[in-house]
Structure 1
Amino acid sequence: MQSMKEKAMELFKIDRPFAITMWEFSWIERRWPGAGYEDWDQALTELTDRGYDAVRIDAFPHLMAWDAHREWTLKPVWNTQDWGSRSVNKITLHDDFRGFLAACRRHNVRVALSTWFREDLDNTCMSILTAQDHARIWIKTLDYIRAWGELDNILYVDLCNEFPLSCWAPFFTRYERGGHDSPLCVRWMKEAIAEFKSAYPQIPVTFSFTAPFRDLDEDVSFLDFIEPHVWMTNSSEFYDKVHYDFARFDDTGYNNLALNGERIYRESKAHYDQCLIDEIERVAEWSRRNNKPLVTTECWAIVDYKDGPLLHWDWILDLNRLGVTTAAKTGCWAGMATSNFCGPQFVGMWREHTWHREMTEIIHNSRMR
């Protein structure tokens, strides 16, 4: 039987663990002056200077499959966060997607594809009625990428971000609002992956998940690898104490986070650090039981953060350092991020050049087992 290291090296065509960041839909939505991605070459130069090897982005497969040349009007998914745009926006995918992939190749940055199924005015994602539909929009998207000569730089495909959360997979949650381990959800994932593999068997494919990770023996045999999103906040009562509730168009939660978050963490630092360590070890055990390598692109401190008054970055940096060093020691991660704030729009995180170099060096030097 192949070791996890051998699987990862063959699957991702790597000789060491890779450092990856999440640029989700910001890569195309945040292109106004000062938004961070108006010059892809500059952003990618800064990324590689910090030691990163790959980006995970939204490929908008539902829109690519429907009409790659159309100008799509996107509704904001929130106005409280700095991922993407806080107000209505317009994108045209074909030329920009092709251009971004070409820019990544120029900078030797590999590209992982995912999707948050961004809502357009027609709510096009709701045309996905079956698992086969889900796979076919991805197949059509990869057909474009193959025609552009960029398929060999695709690191993997995540068929849906944090499946099956209702904010990212409303086409599925109209049938059921269960977890990723529910029978209906598992059947959907298996069928979608089988359909996808019939067209692109050489591309590593998965569904990414967020907590809870309840059953470490759940069937993940149909996934090429496991992509769990792991945070201290999802394995503790931290957000309850802070009174942060993920509101997308109300800043009350952010005000509570600014006023109370750092204080509550520091008052019980040992407890919250241990919550993160325990969750990482739990996910690593999930990996070992299934002999599946891990990739984590959203992690380690808290889920939501941004630059703002009273929102200091030092405690976030410390928690993320703990996450990277703990995960690296397990030998289970083929690739990992240093946080989900590693983009030029998060100035307080992005400016910490030395910190990024230290973290990516830890990732590169970690040893899979």
Structure 2
Amino acid sequence: MTTPLTGPVPSHLPPRLTITLWDFSWYTRAEPGGPFEDLDAACAEAAALGYNTIRICAAPLLLHGALDHAGEPIAHSARELEIEGLGASTGLGRYGQRTRWYDAPGGYTIDVGARLIALFDAAERHGLVVVLASWEYQQSPAFARSPAWFEAIHAVPLHERYAVLAAAWSRLIDELTAAGHRSRIALVELHNEVDFSLLAPLEEGGAEAVTSLREEHPDLLFTASYGKPPHLAMHQLPEGLAAAQFHVYSYGVLDALQRLVDIRSEGSSDFPNAALQGFLRPDAPTPAEYGRAAEWKYRATVVTDQMIYGYDWLDADAWDTWLYDNYGAYREVMLREIESRVIAVAEWARWKQVPAVVGEGWIGYTPLHGTFEEGPVGRALAEHGIATALSHGVWGVVLCSNAAPHHPMWRDREWQLRLNAQILAA
């Protein structure tokens, strides 16, 4: 059973969006042989799997907004952006090598602006639309070899960052329009997960920035996304959002394990604690032996050094086994959390008469080679979230945050084809 959409969408866009999350990886994982080396092939495969939408970091500040210490635009850096990833540990591989998103090997230079146009060209060839966002105050600059990008945007006073983002977006949209791709823009997010980024609360200038963009480009949808929207008090959200693009994660059993091993903290005196030591691979070095990435990279991202070390050196099978063994105690609450949060987002959107999108979900941040979210439990939770979204008029939905070319889940073709068909049939 489905219901009408929570709010109207532009007539030239698909009646439902089925989204694959490419984030910043479409330019940070473009190494030779990497998942995004060939953008046309990546878009072709997404379309073949039934997707009609990709969601990306378009790096608006890098391309059109940030200034260096001398007050000059850093757009010249975008033309020859050297991708490094988190860097190498002497003799022990690369930092982030067994994490999701942070496993970028780097070692190449890229023209981000030209690549953005190439991505839109490929999307047009394969019938895809694009959700534009920025991860720049959350993660993206950490993958560059130079700190110049991070330093430039970090130098912007906190209370001015939303306005600078809005101006950069307007210039980027003009560039895409000149390239003939305006109609391929499904949605523009001022920034990804404003509540988990180096930004002020959205009501402190962000909502006004969204409104100004809507007035300047009335034919496009503008919003901002939350990593954890206020599900119990959605009325607290500021006015002006033209879409409800919120993320629905239910960490549940995963959160219990992360707390047990103290893997998301930083500066813990007993790290790795006894519980985490029980999950480490036999060949794991000590944190001191492994070392750390460049200090500025941790300031440029939300992931801690403890999580990088832990995910790089834990035994993924042991990690998954603990999750399966303990999932039963959390099953009902995780199902209820996903359902209630999707409904809260949808009903807020219906109240505001705007389209609703679940751009990320469903469990949380897992090790690269962990399979709990990709396995039967994770797929069942995802299917529950998708079914709830469709039955409450949500316009766009991600199958799973891990269903993308840079994750192992991309190889599960049958499941993606089946779920995408269900979404599009709705």
TM range (shorter): 0.7 to 0.9
Structure 1 alignment gaps of length 5 or more: 174-179
Return the match for 1:302 from 364, 370, 385: 364
Q: Which runs of 5+ in 2 are unaligned?
A: 65-72, 87-94, 265-302
- Secondary structure, counterpart of 1:286 in structure 2: helix
Checking the alignment, whether the CA contact within 8 Å between 1:4 and 1:292 is kept in structure 2 is no
- Tell me the residue number matched to 1:226: 244
Give 2:216's aligned residue: 199
Specify the SS of the correspondent of 1:304.
Answer: coil
Q: Does 1:291 align with 2:350?
A: no
* Maintained 8 Å contact 1:98/1:145: yes
Q: Does 1:92 align with 2:111?
A: yes
Question: Residue 260 of structure 1 aligns to which amino acid in structure 2?
Answer: W
Alpha-carbon shift at residue 94 of structure 1 (Å): 2.1
Residue 252 of structure 1: aligned partner: 310
1:133 aligns with 2:195: no
The 5-angstrom pairing of residues 73-88 of structure 1 reads 73=82, 76=85, 79=96, 81-83=99-101, 85-86=103-104
Question: Which of the numbers 175, 185, 195 marks the counterpart of 1:144?
Answer: 175
What secondary structure sits across from 1:260 in the alignment?
helix
CA 1:76–1:33: 2 relative to 1, 3 Å: closer
Where do residues 147-296 of structure 1 align in structure 2 (5 Å cutoff)? 147-166=178-197, 170=198, 172-173=199-200, 180=201, 185-213=202-230, 214-233=232-251, 236=252, 238-243=254-259, 245-246=263-264, 247-249=303-305, 250-252=308-310, 255=314, 257-296=319-358
How many residues are aligned here? 345
Distance 1:100 1:23, change over 3 A: same
Deviation at 1:162? 0.2
Q: Aligned in 2, Cα 1:19/1:277: closer, same or farther, shift over 3 Å?
A: same
1:47 — aligned with what? 46
Say if 1:221 and 1:290, in contact at 8 Å, map to a contact too. Answer: no
Within 1, Cα distance between the matches of 2:23 and 2:189?
Answer: 12
Q: TM-score, normalised by structure 1?
A: 0.83
- The verdict on how the C-alpha distance between 1:341 and 1:312 changes in structure 2, with shifts beyond 3 A counting, is closer
Relative distance call for 1:303 and 1:363 in structure 2 (3 A) is farther
Name the residue aligned to 2:423: 363
Q: Secondary structure at the residue paired with 1:261?
A: helix
Structure 2 CA distance for partners of 1:136 and 1:6, relative to 1, 3 Å = same
On the 8 A contact 1:17/1:364 being kept in 2, the answer is yes
**TM-score (norm: length of structure 2):** 0.73
- Other-structure match for 1:176: none
Alignment CA distance shift 1:309-1:19 (3 Å): closer
- Quote the Cα distance in structure 1 between the aligned partners of 2:187 and 2:372: 38
Report which stretch shifted further, 216-225 or 242-251. Answer: 242-251
Cα shift at 1:75: 6.3
User: Residues 59-91 of structure 1, C-alpha deviation per residue, up to 9 Å, x if partnerless?
Assistant: 011110131653224564772533265355643
Q: Deviations 1:244-297 (Å, cap 9, x if unpaired)?
A: 644543342673744522322245423322232222223233223333321111
**Cα distance in 2 for residues equivalent to 1:310 and 1:340:** 13
SS class of match (1:157)? strand
C-alpha contact 1:23 1:343 (8 A) present in aligned 2: yes
CA RMSD, 1 decimal: 2.8
The offset of 1:304, in angstroms, is 3.4
Structure 1 equivalent of residue 396 of structure 2:
335
Q: In structure 2, do the counterparts of structure 1 residues 142 and 263 end up closer, same or farther at CA, with 3 Å as the change threshold?
A: same
User: Share of identical aligned residues, percent?
Assistant: 21
Deviation at 1:22, TM superposition (A): 0.9
State the match for 1:57 in structure 2: 56
* Alpha-carbon distance in structure 2 between the residues aligned to 1:212 and 1:194: 19
Q: 1:159 to 1:237 in 2, by over 3 A?
A: same
Which of the two has higher C-alpha Rg? 2
Q: In 2, distance between residues paired with 1:217 and 1:352?
A: 39
